[in-house]
Structure 1
């Protein structure tokens, strides 16, 4: 399923990205949706955003009464306003008929910039990363008793190593360049898609270089491109990473839990 990551640290929960399926995934992970308080969105591609509104609305329908803050890039407020407009009839009926607190009164939207992020339940920072053609795409770092850095979608970006330096976990997107052909063939989009993948994503070897330069405790590869090519096994991903870094590497999959 598309990208969504729940970070539980020092008694706080932070959800990073809301790809389709994230509501069910959170429930499967044992989270009561009424406990949702904080969501970070790395960028406005649909595989990171599509279920943001439905997640919050579903949490509200299950009894959410506490405030929820959405931290995201420029354009995130327009997304939320559009979602609320699309659900205006349903929301009004539920407030009138079921006695709910208006959903719009519970949700706060914060547009992030590079640097420290105020108002988050964990110490949080943002690093702008290259993911053309999008202008506003961010990696996030969360610090408490442990440190977790999430790369977001990005081309190889050496400054990310300084941003992630010393993190206990670096969650980094990864691509097998040899697998691009299958994606292009299956999508029937041709050269334009190939050019995008090569310009906007990080080969697994380069993700390992970031981990090595940052001196992280563990590298977790996720947002895998391709994710469903039977020609490539986990050993292929791990071997490519090991060629550049000898630290621990975990290959992401749906439902993966990583102990901090």
Structure 2
């Protein structure tokens, strides 16, 4: 089965009652199960989507903002406490090794007890941490992955990822402002999963967010308006555009109709507005 499962589709770290969870996605391609980003709620969302944590082969982190990495350690640790026996490789930007070391230090008490009491294999031997930057990330007989540094100030090490395997190519934009080089990076992809922002929805979000004096400046400098997402997809000639990391994702005053209306002037191909738990088959 080759598909994409959107585990969390909300932009930003806040969680609201009945709303979407922050960013995490699963890509099943060529017999491998790959987790892309790991915000809070990712472990539960994967299990509810029918994908056990022990099925995950590789994890890719696009950047170290909390709404992309907060549950990385807890997800891996939960997999270990439920029977992980094989190696998982975590690919992340500079700083990912320090994150992992810090997480394991925070669980030192529990880790020592479980090693002695339950006879589990050392987790530190099962997790391989690989730091990547722009360019080729990895390649083997079933999968190749490439990275493009995108523009997401103030984060410098933030990367779009291009996955190719089993006759399909899927590109994840990560978080970025409008960044035309993504069009070339995603050229000919079967699916482009791109973050998206509704201008009217962002203004409403700012009004209801306490202490948001600098939020407007950050959002417009660091994220992509929906109409510009359409421009990227058109330039790339992708087969299917999927909107993810939605801003806003949980405002009842904005619906799929608003997203389609914003994208329509710049993109006339297949369009899916992401929602938590959505499975997108890859032909």
Range class of TM-score, shorter chain: over 0.9
Alignment of 1:51-200 (within 5 A): 51-118=71-138, 122-144=143-165, 145-200=167-222
Q: TM-score, normalised by structure 2?
A: 0.90
Q: Which has the higher helix share?
A: 1
Distance in structure 1 (CA, Å) of the matches to 2:131 and 2:146: 13
SS at match of 2:279: coil
Distance in structure 1 (CA, Å) of the matches to 2:212 and 2:77: 37
Distance in structure 1 (CA, Å) of the matches to 2:211 and 2:65: 17
Contact 1:70/1:110 (8 A) holds in 2:
yes
Unaligned runs of 5+ in 1: none
**Pairing 1:3–2:23 present:** yes
Q: Deviations over 1:181-200 (max 9, x none)?
A: 22222222233110000000
Quote the residue 2:242 is aligned against: 220
**Pairing 1:240–2:262 present:** yes
Quote the residue 1:31 is aligned against: 51
Contact 2:32/2:57 (8 A) holds in 1:
no
Tell me how many residue pairs correspond in the alignment. Answer: 260
Distance in structure 2 (CA, Å) of the matches to 1:89 and 1:186: 41
Deviation at 1:119, TM superposition (A): 5.5
Distance in structure 2 (CA, Å) of the matches to 1:182 and 1:166: 35
Contact 1:36/1:59 (8 A) holds in 2:
no
The higher-RCO structure (CA 8 Å, 6+ apart) is 2
Which stretches of structure 1, 4 residues or longer, exceed 2 Å deviation after superposition? 118-121
SS at match of 1:90: helix
Unaligned runs of 5+ in 2: 1-20
Distance in structure 2 (CA, Å) of the matches to 1:104 and 1:4: 24
Distance in structure 2 (CA, Å) of the matches to 1:36 and 1:219: 25
The alignment yields a C-alpha RMSD, in angstroms, of 1.1
SS at match of 2:23: coil
SS at match of 1:191: coil
Distance in structure 1 (CA, Å) of the matches to 2:211 and 2:203: 11
Distance in structure 1 (CA, Å) of the matches to 2:74 and 2:137: 25
Distance in structure 2 (CA, Å) of the matches to 1:238 and 1:195: 25
Q: TM-score, normalised by structure 1?
A: 0.98
